[in-house]
A and B are shown apart, each in its own frame.
Chain A
């Protein structure tokens, strides 16, 4: 029995179905990310786990216990909110111990817990301040402290970093990850930011329109997206999608690509069997920007690589890499090139396509072919 198990959970308001049968199961100590665009139902699902929203049908189990009919306080959970939701009239100390006080934890015990939590989060000097006297990052930390003080089986985070500025967000992200290492508790974390999802999660559930599109480890989801939506949602800059014709090529199949008036046939070294059914038809080829680089001579002859020359439409240096945009089959394609080898906007250069991790989608169903 896992730490959290969500079985066929549905939510509807009247005739509108918000969640359409969610199934997720995670083990104790795992960090689960619910990620998806706004309106996908991820926050609703979290509210239902917390008991703040009712469950229309299906079951939620926390630590092996069915919690459908338990009130939030009896579910053994703690939650961190996007707006922090600190009690403005109470000091940091009172904020952290409020939940303990309601649970009738004796005062000396409460003080001990507050001291411990303050030490874990390094905020001893903030204990007697009011939330209004704290910065965004400090408020976030207090909100986490309040959750830790409860010592629950399950932590719930509802987009906790989206109110922070970019730099602080990265810092707090690391802090949350460290905290998870140290406390070792199961966490469910809702975000719309795929970078947070990739960096924090042990397991990711990518959601769209009330359904889980894919559930797996970050690497599985990145390398093996189940469909076009997952592929386009995860990764930054996002995956390139090229609509192209499948043709036969030396006993196997190839992909017909056109750039700057020149036609190339890219080899398909992997999964050519599955694609052979599509000969003469079109498929969507998904290739990550980092798989299109400058030509590396000693690799260029290998079977999964293909070199093609193209004109650079736009060049965006990011420092570590330069993103070059080229046109293939009339689509803008982003390539990730080492700045040293990147040529200038308007120039032509040879690009090397690494086809080994290319994924293929059916243009009609947007499902993964292989």
Chain B
């Protein structure tokens, strides 16, 4: 009796497992399909696309669309491809990510280790920044950039993204630092270290997990941003996301789907890369703040 019931449950659980894996496989396929179509389309010739099926593999593989997307596709009136804008994006994303991370770390340090009167109110106020939609700040930000004399410049974009990102990075670092015992800072004070030295020599070196989280988060946010890019920059100072949009919209009679797909993949590559390389730190770092020990 016992044996039969045992085999029955085993059989049932094995069946359940098959169902789960089949479902997971299907979901996986469903999510990978767009990427597959993008990659395969980007490697097809235009004739191939016109005559063939959407999900069919290319008849002959060609890298011409990629070359065109990178170096010679027309975006507006300029026909120099995505490369200019791709580097543009890097030129403001990297400084914006680093500055916002550093400012966030500094804010978090002050808000946890050097509390001042009203620091909790300050923190709560800063948190509201996480919930403000982009559209709300467009006009005030345009004014501010104008006053500062950095509108329509790389510096302006850096400024916008730092201001917008600081709320998030502060939240990350503050939540990470509250788990660090106060006694560490007290010991450093008695050792004679001052405000800045404690930050540089003790707090920042033990922040690696949360720095990684902050960098990944900020990098994907800023790299993928379209709205700020389209509003606060123009011409050859635009980021890659805006360029992609313009490339697709610039029509010269024939719609080059293969070039569009290649350009879209180029625009998405850096974030993909960051996730693949540092994804595991991301999960680890996000939970590091909440779980002590």
Contacts and interface: CB of A to CB of B under 8 A. Distances in A.
Interface in A137-186: 146, 150
A81 B201 CA distance: 20
B192 A83 contact: no
Interface stretch (B168-176, B179-187, B235-243): B179-187
B190 A79 contact: yes
A299 interface: no
B206 to A, nearest CB: 5
B188 interface: yes
Interface string B119-133: 000000000000000
A136 interface: no
Contact of A87 (B188, B189, B192): B188
A150 B183 CA distance: 18
A136 to B, nearest CB: 14
A83 B205 contact: no
A52 B181 contact: no
A69 to B, nearest CB: 15
Nearest to A143: B187
Contacts of B191: 73, 98-99, 102, 146, 150
B184 A87 contact: yes
Nearest to B204: A89
Contacts of A72: 189-190, 192
Interface in A69-105: 71-73, 77-79, 81-83, 85-89, 98-99, 102-103
Interface centre among B183, B191, B193, B197, by most chain A C-beta atoms within 10 angstroms, is: B191
A78 B186 CA distance: 11
B202 interface: yes
A170 to B, nearest CB: 24
A87 B190 contact: no
A103 B193 CA distance: 9
A146 B183 CA distance: 14
B39 to A, nearest CB: 43
Contact of B181 (A71, A85, A102): A85
B192 A99 contact: yes
A50 interface: yes
Given A87-B202, A89-B202, A79 B193 contact: no
Interface residues of B, number: 16
B152 to A, nearest CB: 42
B222 to A, nearest CB: 29
A113 to B, nearest CB: 14
Given A72-B189, A73-B191, A78-B190, A85 B197 contact: no
Contacts of B197: 102
Given A73-B191, A99-B191, A102-B197, A52 B202 contact: no
A78 B197 CA distance: 19
Classify chain A's interface size: 20 to 34
Contact of A50 (B188, B190, B201): B190
Given A79-B187, A102-B197, A89 B192 contact: no
A222 to B, nearest CB: 32
B183 A82 contact: yes
B192 A85 contact: no
Contact of A81 (B187, B193, B205, B206): B187
A164 to B, nearest CB: 16
A78 B187 CA distance: 9
A85 B206 contact: no
Given A87-B202, A88-B206, A89-B205, A103 B192 contact: yes
Contacts of B181: 83, 85
Contacts of B202: 87, 89
A86 B192 CA distance: 15
A85 B184 contact: yes
B187 A85 contact: yes
Contact of A79 (B184, B186, B201, B206): B186
Interface in B78-120: none
A280 B219 CA distance: 85
Contacts of A87: 184, 187-188, 201-202
Interface string A284-298: 000000000000000
Contacts of A51: 190
A71 to B, nearest CB: 8
B178 to A, nearest CB: 15
Contacts of A78: 190
Contact of A77 (B184, B190, B193): B190
A150 B190 CA distance: 10
Given A88-B206, A89-B206, A102-B197, A73 B190 contact: yes
Contact of A52 (B189, B192, B201): B189
Nearest to A77: B190
A96 to B, nearest CB: 10
A102 B190 contact: no
A147 to B, nearest CB: 9
22 contacts: A51-B190, A52-B186, A71-B189, A72-B190, A73-B190, A73-B192, A78-B190, A79-B187, A81-B186, A82-B183, A83-B181, A86-B187, A87-B188, A88-B206, A98-B188, A99-B190, A102-B191, A102-B192, A102-B193, A102-B197, A103-B192, A146-B187
Interface of A: 50-52, 71-73, 77-79, 81-83, 85-89, 98-99, 102-103, 146, 150
Given A52-B186, A87-B202, A89-B205, 14 more contacts: A50-B186, A50-B190, A71-B189, A72-B189, A73-B189, A73-B190, A73-B191, A77-B190, A81-B186, A87-B184, A87-B201, A98-B201, A102-B191, A103-B192
Interface of B: 181, 183-184, 186-193, 197, 201-202, 205-206
Closest 7 CB pairs of A and B: A73-B192, A99-B191, A89-B205, A85-B187, A85-B183, A102-B192, A81-B183
